[in-house]
Amino acid sequence: MRHSSSAAVLFVSIALLICSQGLLASQPGQSASPLTAQTNDLTSLVDIQKYNRSIHIMAMLLVGFGFLMVFVKKYGRSAVTATYLLVSVAIPVYFSVKSYDIFGEALSADIDKFILAEFAAASLLICAGAALGRLKMVQYMVLGVIFTFVYMLNEWIVTGGGFGLVKTGFADTGGSIVIHAFGALFGLGVIKTMTTSDEFAQPIETDASSDRFSMLGSMVLWIFWPSFCAALVAPELLPRTIVNVVLALCGATVATYFASIVLRKGKISIADIANASLAGGVAIGSTCDHASHPAAFLIGLLAGVVSTIGFSVIQGKLQSKLKCIDTCGVLNLHGWPGLMGGIAAVFVVEGINKSNQLKGIAVTIIVALVAGYITGKILSAFGRKALVYADSDEFADAEA
């Protein structure tokens, strides 16, 4: 009961935060718009096209990230429930905080604010993937609240001129750095604390059914990735952007197959295919609206190889060294390919301020690692999950 009462406190405070803030800040800008708008005008048509992309992103968040994490055999119910809760915490928190002038100027356009909130939720899901199976549901939600604030801080510093550290012009349209690398490195900080020695020794089981669900998640991410990268891109740049993203994904998928067969000595791993195929989407993020098509394809190829090396070679060594487990391998899918994509912008984007780009990357790395480490300490104060990688300690109707 201690458990649920502390949880209830958290819950009420989140709810009040959101309602009060939304009440004060979010409505005025919003309710004004229908008064001035003319039906059928072009602006609202463009907004509705953004809205279509926001729905695509939501499919990535829930079915995409959610089912990609169902690869843990006995933890499927928990993985999708955690996904639901993480998204349902991050979006209202981001949306209402962004209605104030806290991290940069308040935004009044609902659709833009909603899409930015979805980006935050994506980054959070990446982060949570690192600790998947070792957090209680309440810990996922606490992580959600803390993460969203730090994410907004970093987003503001790197892309909004916060504290004057990074100048405008930081190239990261599709979020290779501020979404993917940030989430993965934050997760690395968290798992430093959130892996006990027992948990470190515990094997993670999969089976044919969980593997197929995981591939479903992977494919949903692949399908809608162009909408993710192009969500806020101007209409006339959209065709080039989405073709670039598709070409990068194609490149990564083919490269992953060959890298996996070579690195695993003759047999491929379905985990490589499900994950590293997406590394093209991660890496093209920073340059998706600037790269030429061949450059996009090449970035995808490289990202697929880098990610597969991560899964098959680096992960094992790094985990042994750091004594922590990255359950979903988010460093391999979002970490290295994300950083690679951010650096690629230096070579691909014409007229870019190179030192500024590198400074933004460095800031993101530092903020993510430090904040993640502190957050891990905070989470550990909420105790440890009774049965790791299993539904049965939290779900009434689950097999033991």
Distance CA 164, CA 49 (A): 33
Residue 181 or 325 having the CB closest to a copy of itself: 325
Calculate the CA 144 to chain-centre distance: 12
Q: Is residue 62 within the footprint of a copy of itself (CB under 8 A)?
A: yes
* Residue placing its CB nearer to a copy of itself in the complex, 26 or 364: 26
Residues 239-278: x where in contact with a copy of itself by CB under 8 A, - otherwise, as a string: xx-xx--xx-xxx-xxx-xx--xx-x-xxxxxx-x---x-
Q: Which of 378, 363, 315, 337 shows the shortest CA–CA distance to 144? A: 378
Q: Does 84 bind a copy of itself (CB under 8 A)?
A: yes
Minimum Å gap between C-beta 367 and a copy of itself is 26
Our CB check for a copy of itself shows the closer of 201 and 400 to be 400
Which of 6, 13, 68, 89 is close enough to bind a copy of itself by CB under 8 A? Answer: 89
SS3 233: coil
Residues 10-39 that bind a copy of itself (CB under 8 A): 11, 14-15, 18-20, 22-23, 26-27, 30-31, 33-34, 37-39
Cβ-based nearer residue to a copy of itself, 1 or 381: 1
DSSP 60-118: IIIIIIHHHGGGSTT-HHHHHHHHHHHHHHHHHHHHHHTTTTSSSSPP--HHHHHHHHH
Per CB under 8 A, the list member of 120, 122, 130, 141 interacting with a copy of itself is: 141
Cβ-count burial 215-247 (b if 16+ within 10 Å, e if not): bbbbbbbbebbbbbbbbebeeeebebbbebbbb
Size of the site for a copy of itself (CB under 8 A): 124
Q: What Å distances lie between residue 9 and 5, 6, 59, CA to CA?
A: 6, 5, 30
Give the dihedral of Cα atoms 298, 304, 306, 312; nearest 10 deg. Answer: -160
DSSP letter assigned to residue 386: S
Per the listing, tokens 């490589």 go with: 272
Examine residue 313 and tell whether it contacts a copy of itself (CB under 8 A). no
For a copy of itself, what does the binding mask look like between residues 178 and 217, x meaning CB under 8 A? ----------------------------xxxx-xxx-xx-
Stretch that binds a copy of itself, among 122-130, 177-185, 296-304, 326-334 (CB under 8 A): 296-304
Span interacting with a copy of itself, options 78-86, 180-188, 325-333, 358-366, rule CB under 8 A: 78-86
Nearer residue to a copy of itself within complex by CB, 13 or 355: 13
Single out the segment in contact with a copy of itself by CB under 8 A; choices: 83-91, 126-134, 171-179, 381-389.
83-91
Residue 19 CA to its chain's centroid (Å): 25
Q: Measured from the CB atom, is 150 or 246 closer to a copy of itself?
A: 246
Which region among 165-173, 184-192, 196-204, 220-228 touches a copy of itself (by CB under 8 A)? 220-228
For 211, the enclosing helix (H) or strand (E) is helix 208-229
Please state, in angstroms and rounded to a whole number, the distance separating the CA atoms of residues 90 and 335.
21
Closer by beta carbon to a copy of itself, 149 or else 373: 149
Q: Which of 292, 316, 323, 366 binds a copy of itself (CB under 8 A)?
A: 292
List the one residue from 156, 297, 311, 389 that touches a copy of itself (CB under 8 A): 297
Q: Confirm or reject binding of residue 400 to a copy of itself (CB under 8 A).
A: no
What is the four-CA torsion angle of 91, 338, 143, 392, rounded to 10 degrees? 100
Binder to a copy of itself among 68, 74, 173, 331 (CB under 8 A)?
A: 74
What's the CA gap between 125 and 69, in Å, rounded?
10
Q: Cα separation of 296 and 250, whole Å?
A: 10
Helix axes 110-131, 182-193, angle to 10 degrees: 40
Sole window of 174-182, 195-203, 223-231, 326-334 interacting with a copy of itself (rule: CB under 8 A): 223-231
The reply on whether position 109 binds a copy of itself by CB under 8 A is yes
User: Taking the complex as a whole, how short is the minimal distance between the CB of residue 257 and a copy of itself, in angstroms?
Assistant: 6
